[in-house]
Amino acid sequence: MQPDPDADWIRADPSLSWIRRLAPLLRRQRARIVVAVIAAILATGAGAVAPWIAGMAVDAAVEGLETDGSGSLWAFVIALVGLGLARGIFTYTYRYGLFSMGHRVEFQLRTLLFAHLSRLSFAFYDRVQTGEIISRSNSDIRSVQMYLAFAPIVSVQLLSFVVAIAVMAWISLPLTAITMLIMPAVYVLGQRLRHIMFPLSWIIQSRNAEVATVTHESVNGVRVVKAFAAEARQVTEMARAAQRLRWANTLQHNTRAHYTPVIENLPRLAMAMVLLVGGHLIIGDTLSVGNLATFYLYILLLQAPFRFIGMLFIFGQRAKASAERIFQVLDEPVLVADRPGAVDLPQRPEAEPHGEAVARAARERSEHERETTPDGPAGMEVQFDDVRFAYGTETVGGVAGTASADSDAPLVFDGLHLRIGAGERIAVVGRTGCGKSTLARLLMRFYSLGDGTISVGGHDVNDLTGDSLRRAVGLVPDEPFLFSASIHDNIAYARPDAARSDVVAAATAAQAHDFISELDEGYDTVVGERGYDLSGGQRQRIAIARAILADPAVLILDDATSSIDVAHEAKIHDALTELLAERTTIVIAHRLSTISLADRVILLDGGQVAADGTHAELMATEPRYVEVLAAGGDTSDPDRFATADGTPGSSGSW
């Protein structure tokens, strides 16, 4: 079954009850629900008729013994066996149908939630813990599924309750009145249980999410934990989270232990009274033994709804709490969404074919050919106009929304102006926190922009479809993420259908082919979670290969060689120099060797472009630039910061 993530599966109105919000999704399963409910009604009917036939059999046996000392019960036996077989078939049908429906709803709801999570901006993930998302995607959805499967079953059980009461009233009104005396107490206790269980269910689900968060962070951060010998601290933190969960679970079960036995055993008190009064009625010849037996069997039949009603209250409140937690995520607005009428960004002309010809074509193309090609540079112009942005200000009405320059949050950019020509290579430098990585995130529209305009190829990024924008703009982050898949699949992530030769060519250009070939399974080697069984430099080289294979018109290298040794870095730079020849490139740099890839250097400071020029020009005229390089450079080599004429940079510290 292929899901449609954009389908109207739930109602968007938060004022509706959770079950009404799920109505569009449930309508997709109406055929299964109808068949299951009909089968459940027939199964209940078969069960409700059985006590009546059993009572008739008792009367027939008593009458036979009183007349001729014998009585044939074969007809009743056959009837009861037939009812049992019919009930078994109908019970299988409705239980299979309801649980199948429940699992399909679970699948659709989980798919819908995951699809919505994939559309949310980075601002959502900046403030929501991973454990919370995992909990809502798993245990919360599971709670809703269990209730949707069990609720119709219990509801049909209530139908048998109505049938039983009607037959009991026909047999004896006094005995029925005695039985009904317990109903108000059961109702009051059920309502009380419902009001207690809802907040408890919410707390339990939150505590489960807390445990999931601690587990997730401890597993993913195991290297940090061990590096600081903090295992005991993490165990203590987990113990505290588990203790809070244990407290909530214990309180819930304590509540169930107080209420559920009372609700289930109240009918047994009625049974004792019925036997006492019914015996007197038999002695007075106003009630037959068979009728009393029938009445007694119907009281036993009533116990199933009473037994399940407590479970229904518990499941219902847990499902309500879980559904509201799920809706909290689904109600998050998609801040970075394609506008109505958004267009695809026109892709750049193919400057070179993929695969092995990538490097060869770059080497063979002369500088004159690159400048005189009729199509112009293969890259695209990038422009930032009066850009203002601050993290944590994307709120509208208390939920994630559009950033505002009027917010009290510190602005990362305050009127940023920057133009990068098509095919130009620039380096962006600055102190930590000046907005270098933010520049890349805004260009790729990971966050909604507060004020100003960002354009690629002359198109406002807000007027483009996100898919086409991110196909044209590639990013190699400073902390590359690898999936638990083969190295081939990791490199080919942007192009899953890429041939092995293309993947090898990209890995060769990124200086990754040699170490990959030395692995036991080569490109088919499956890396561990996040690729931690590889070194940091190896992960970065695979990430660079992934970007090379994607062949974007604009490439962002966010300190992409920070973990690579100098020898390999030089080879990667040589390969990148050729491959980036006609590609607009933004190099976010902390090292002088990385800046060498660029023709022009941009210094960010105070939320704006503080300086713009070549490396030599900035070394000679901009002390802040020298200070930034000094903060991340190797002071043992004085020539690293020399100006174009070979003299040291003009900084008091040099």
Specify the CATH class of 18-330 in words. Answer: mainly alpha
Contact, 419 vs 373, CB < 8 A? Answer: no
The fold for domain 365-613 equals: Rossmann fold (3.40.50)
Alpha helices in 221-230 (DSSP H): 222-227
Retrieve residue 121's tokens: 């901006």
Query: What's the confidence (pLDDT) of residue 85?
Result: 92
Query: What's the confidence (pLDDT) of residue 71?
Result: 58
- Location of structure tokens 């009918």: 267
d(CA 456, CA 384): 9
Q: What is the largest CA-CA distance in the chain?
A: 130
Domain ranges within the chain, ordered by starting residue: 18-330, 365-613
613: part of which helix (H) or strand (E)? strand 608-613
Query: What's the confidence (pLDDT) of residue 66?
Result: 56
Sheet strands (E) in 450-503: 451-456, 459-460, 473-476
Query: What's the confidence (pLDDT) of residue 367?
Result: 42
Retrieve residue 320's tokens: 């309500």
Q: Please calculate the CA angle 580-582-584 and round it to the nearest 5 degrees.
A: 75
Query: What's the confidence (pLDDT) of residue 626?
Result: 86
Contact, 144 vs 29, CB < 8 A? Answer: no
Retrieve residue 13's tokens: 């109105």
d(CA 558, CA 321): 42
Retrieve residue 547's tokens: 């970007």
Q: Report helix, strand or coil for 583.
A: coil
What burial class does residue 370 get, using C-beta atoms within 10 Å of its C-beta: 0-12 exposed, 13-18 middle, 19+ buried? middle
pLDDT along the chain (654 residues), means of 10: 53 86 88 89 83 79 62 78 89 89 88 86 81 81 87 77 81 81 74 74 78 74 65 81 85 80 74 78 78 78 67 78 87 83 73 43 39 49 91 48 51 89 89 87 86 89 88 84 87 89 89 88 82 78 88 84 66 68 81 78 89 88 86 47 38 29
Q: Report helix, strand or coil for 320.
A: helix
d(CA 211, CA 580): 47
Q: What is the 8-class DSSP label of residue 284? A: T
d(CA 283, CA 289): 10
Q: Please calculate the CA angle 518-519-523 and round it to the nearest 5 degrees.
A: 105
Instruction: Indicate the residue type of 133.
Output: I
List, in order, residues 6 or more apart from 4 with CB less than 8 Å away: none
Alpha helices in 284-402 (DSSP H): 289-330, 357-364, 367-372
Q: Is the dihedral of CA 572, 575, 581, 583 positive or negative?
A: negative
State how far Cα 138 lies from the chain centre. Answer: 9
Q: Could you count the other beta carbons within 10 Å of the beta carbon of residue 644?
A: 11
Contact, 608 vs 602, CB < 8 A? Answer: no
List, in order, residues 6 or more apart from 100 with CB less than 8 Å away: 32
Alpha helices in 136-230 (DSSP H): 141-171, 173-180, 183-220, 222-227
Per the document, the length of the chain is 654
Query: What's the confidence (pLDDT) of residue 488?
Result: 93
Query: What's the confidence (pLDDT) of residue 117?
Result: 86
State how far Cα 628 lies from the chain centre. Answer: 40
Q: pLDDT digits over 82-103, tens only? A: 888 998 899 899 889 988 898 8
Q: pLDDT digits over 608-654, tens only? A: 899 898 888 888 888 888 888 887 654 334 344 443 343 333 333 22
Q: Helix 231-283 vs helix 173-180: angle between axes, to the nearest 10 degrees?
A: 160
Nearest to 348 by CA among 376, 373, 367: 376
Q: Could you count the other beta carbons within 10 Å of the beta carbon of residue 186?
A: 18
Contact, 100 vs 314, CB < 8 A? Answer: no
d(CA 613, CA 591): 17
Contact, 375 vs 519, CB < 8 A? Answer: no
Retrieve residue 192's tokens: 């009380």
The model carries a pTM of 0.70
Query: What's the confidence (pLDDT) of residue 601?
Result: 92
Q: Report helix, strand or coil for 13.
A: coil
d(CA 374, CA 372): 6
Contact, 367 vs 582, CB < 8 A? Answer: no
Q: Is the dihedral of CA 178, 180, 185, 189 positive or negative?
A: positive
